[in-house]
Structure 1
């Protein structure tokens, strides 16, 4: 194995030994030069002067050691602080990452729920659009909504003779209404009272009542429908034929007239509100209980 070349002490010696040796060598050199100068000048050399540089070097080495130890301790503390700060930062990053993941999952769930809700709303809107025309037709036929359109007007008057038999009775108007329904009428009113499925035409004493409201002659009956065919269709029904026969027999008169446009009100509000109902067996079914709405 080849021998390594001689290296200078500053390369091979440890740092502290090198500093101490250099300090001591320089101190010895300075002390020797001072002593030689004093000897040449004939001045006495004080005893023990050679130890002063050595003490100075020892103090310098001690101070340097303290500084080095302090720096090492401080460096270790700084490293611990940095490690602790790094761990805390990593933990916070992990926590925030988990929170973001939860929020993203929540957002995905909300988007899915929102899509389902929008789909339900769309289906409900489609169902409502499909039911609206049917509801309108049912409202017209049952009297729950006001309506207008073409049709015929029938004016019925008591007999001019004043004979009691020539007075129009409730059953005469009911017969006329049945004939108009059979002739294709979509809505009927008598003296402004809309006929509904719950309407009643009856005599209360002398006057005739429709929907509980008294009316008097002349009786104006509006029927919305096809005005081109309704008059002829009325006279083809059994009710229409019977009504015409009673008119001829007892002397009350009626007049048919086509109308381009008529407006009929809705039925009474008391008929339009279902307050309570009970479910029964098929053999015990009764009409639903209705209560009049307070005015």
Structure 2
């Protein structure tokens, strides 16, 4: 069946992948942030709970959004089109699809659980552990396995941390439209955003240093593809300056509303640019051209579907 479907989906697949990863990453990040807030009993969870809970309850929308991605796996992942020698069934297309659906079903169930106003610390801790492990696995599968030499790195974990920071940043921007959080919540929120930003910078730096020190050709090729135009400018001109600016603003004492909003916006810009830098350069490995129309329509349609799902899931916690 997929042999007949893939040719129709393939031209749109390269545009669908980053759009889906953005939606899935923000949902995963919301779940991680909720679990962390419940576990630590943080004051910042109260003003952020409504938007985060709406994102968590809308997690089932990822299932239909993932279907085109899973059906088009041979057009996106070289190992799905031509099995690599010496590999196990872990990256067989059928196993990949079943594993992806199982992860999304788990996140949907955890979303219902974590959206509750109160949750025991042990339950939140177990949920957080599950989310970090399955999130790193999902990012390895969906975002990083296109270059098979790159799987098993720290990047899956780094993406999960970055997505949690982006989800918290988005929830902060939504919360600021309603009211400024109280002093305790604001102080905790400032520190949490700074921690996520610093952790993101550190994890990506450590990964680069490990590859640079190892001087391994296959891993170095991953970075070389991303140093070519225009992707080198996306990283050096957008993602990195936005992250450093967010950290710099977060370190300024005596916060104000505009500064808190600026940090949140900068973290979102950094995540968008960095996600494109991670995913899109590997399109050269598949050789599937992407119509300009797909790059415009697919993200817009995905954003509309997710926004509608979040809005329908929003209700008083």
Q: State the TM-score bracket (shorter-chain normalisation).
A: under 0.3
Normalising by the residue count of structure 1, what TM-score does the alignment of the two structures yield? 0.22
Structure with a larger share of its residues in helix: 2
Structure with a larger share of its residues in strand: 1
Between 1 and 2, higher relative CO (CA 8 Å, sep ≥ 6) is seen in 2
